Amino acid sequence: MAPFCCIVPEYVLRAIVERGVAPQNTINACHSTIEKIRQIQDARIQHGQRTESAQQQQVAEGIIPSFIHETIAQHAATAEQRETSLRTLEYNTKLRAAAGTLRHLKRTVYDAQNSWDFKNPPKDKVMIKEGGVLISEEEDPTGNANECYIGFKKTYDFYFDFFKRDSIDGRGLKLDGFVHFGEGFRNAMWDGRNLIFGDGDGVVFDGFTDELDIIAHEFTHGVVQYTSPLNYTLQSGALNESLADVFGIMVKQWAEDPERPQTVDQANWLIGEGIWAEGINGRALRDMRHPGTAYNDRFVGKDPQPAHWDDFQELDVDNGGVHINSGIPNRAFYLAAYMIGGYAWEGAGPIWYKALTSGKLGENATFKEFADLTIENASEHAGKIKEAWTRVGYPFPVKRAGQ
């Protein structure tokens, strides 16, 4: 069983411990988070956990969400615009009916009550479940349960509306979220079955449920698990991480402000924006447009992501640099989306989704193999997609000694 993703990579936690300038409580919490991640990974490897085999998923072309067309139709400046939006609405409705996919959104958010038991996290305290109303501030002082519940729906809707995907497995998998996991657990993760969130500390980490892209990132690890189970190491692991960022950023651009979905040039392309507590010198955890520039702080060090194949890092840490080298395919996606323009989920997004769900992506896929798959699935955009990859080092020649 492959190791799992934690949104805050171990090297970030380790940098905080090794630099030793953060408050002692934070250092201790980061240290114990590293230990716990290791224990959880060891336990998972020992016990094994069946990963369902990859299935080829049906892909529907990107559709503008209905609410956008409804808004355009209401506020259309010209009769022609209104007519176009109404026609598109009608078309979308027909397309959905034809696709025949039923929605099976089923969310439950539990209070993990600071338990570390990831194999059987406690389910006796349900905070909110499907169909329930958001809970009060007294019941959810940190807002984590409501944020998790809302984030699940937005992410589910994104996959359903644009890719006709019914939940993580494409077959309505129940979405179980656990908040307040562990004590001093500075992280969020998809563990193969559940989405799990620790608490922030307000000193270095501000919390993990209020960033929609973090929830969508972890959700997408589940989607990757069920479509192209990329080994979580080296290039395939960096592709796995990058795909989680690619879909995470699109969910953020589409739904963070449902009134104003963002085009590729309106968006800031930051993953984990707001993850750092006040006083930390960082914009985000990662920057897809300019990898390597998201943070530079005395407590946590500098963002180590490369933006080009020339700077690919051969590493022993971080499963061979999965959260580090993902900067390269992340920037390729940004460039591809930017060159096509408009909304990422209508341009480059469907091309990446087709590649992910093509059934042709091997467990040890390389950047080159993934890039070729996107070019193959890009139809009229093939030239732009190839150009985007070329600008980050495609066709990724093997480096020679001394280079």
Residues 244-273 that bind Zn ion (CB under 5 A): 244
Amino acid present at 202: G
Q: 129 pairs with which residues across the strands?
A: 108
User: Which listed range, 1-9, 72-80, 225-233, 297-305, lies at the site for Zn ion (CB under 5 A)?
Assistant: 1-9
Instruction: Decide whether 88 or 236 has the Cβ nearer to Zn ion.
Output: 236
Return the residue nearest Zn ion (CB atom): 5
Q: From the CB of 213, what's the least distance to Zn ion, in Å?
A: 11
Residue 93: Cβ within 10 Å count: 11
Nearest to 4 by CA among 182, 188, 180: 188
Determine which one of 69, 221, 323, 381 is catalytic.
323
Determine which one of 10, 147, 211, 218 is catalytic.
218
Residue partners of 108: CB distance under 8 A and separation at least 6: 126, 128, 129, 130, 174, 175, 176, 177
Please pick, from the candidates 2, 5, 250, 365, the single residue that binds Zn ion as defined by CB under 5 A: 5
How many residues bind Zn ion, per CB under 5 A? 3
Q: From the CB of 6, what's the least distance to Zn ion, in Å?
A: 7
218 given a catalytic annotation: yes
Instruction: Decide whether 189 or 375 has the Cβ nearer to Zn ion.
Output: 189
Q: In this structure, are residues 190 and 177 in contact, taking their beta carbons and an 8 Å threshold?
A: no
Instruction: Decide whether 22 or 238 has the Cβ nearer to Zn ion.
Output: 238
Q: 169 pairs with which residues across the strands?
A: none
Residues 294-333 that bind Zn ion (CB under 5 A): none
Residue partners of 280: CB distance under 8 A and separation at least 6: 204, 295, 297, 299, 300
Q: From the CB of 47, what's the least distance to Zn ion, in Å?
A: 22
Q: From the CB of 394, what's the least distance to Zn ion, in Å?
A: 23
Q: From the CB of 71, what's the least distance to Zn ion, in Å?
A: 33
Q: From the CB of 109, what's the least distance to Zn ion, in Å?
A: 20
Radius of gyration from C-alpha coordinates of the chain: 21
Instruction: Decide whether 63 or 365 has the Cβ nearer to Zn ion.
Output: 365
Instruction: Decide whether 5 or 332 has the Cβ nearer to Zn ion.
Output: 5
In Å, how far are 32, 74, 82, 272 from 77, measured between CA atoms?
57, 9, 8, 36
Report d(CA 255, CA 177) in Å as an integer: 20
Residues 227-246 that bind Zn ion (CB under 5 A): 241, 244
In Å, how far are 119, 326, 388 from 395, measured between CA atoms?
41, 16, 11
Distant-in-sequence contacts of 36-44, Cβ < 8 A, 24+ apart: 36/116, 36/182, 36/185, 37/6, 37/10, 37/187, 40/4, 40/118, 40/191, 41/3, 41/4, 43/118, 43/119, 44/1, 44/3, 44/4, 44/191, 44/192
User: Which listed range, 4-12, 155-163, 273-281, 356-364, lies at the site for Zn ion (CB under 5 A)?
Assistant: 4-12
User: Which listed range, 2-10, 106-114, 336-344, 358-366, lies at the site for Zn ion (CB under 5 A)?
Assistant: 2-10
Alpha helices in 100-207 (DSSP H): 144-163
Q: Where are the beta strands (DSSP E) in 211-324?
A: 270-271, 286-287, 296-297, 301-302
Instruction: Decide whether 230 or 244 has the Cβ nearer to Zn ion.
Output: 244
Residue 309: Cβ within 10 Å count: 19
Instruction: Decide whether 210 or 241 has the Cβ nearer to Zn ion.
Output: 241
Q: From the CB of 241, what's the least distance to Zn ion, in Å?
A: 5
What stretch of H or E contains 29?
Answer: helix 24-47
Report d(CA 250, CA 276) in Å as an integer: 21
Which residues are annotated as catalytic? 218, 323
Contact residues for Zn ion, defined by CB under 5 A: 5, 241, 244
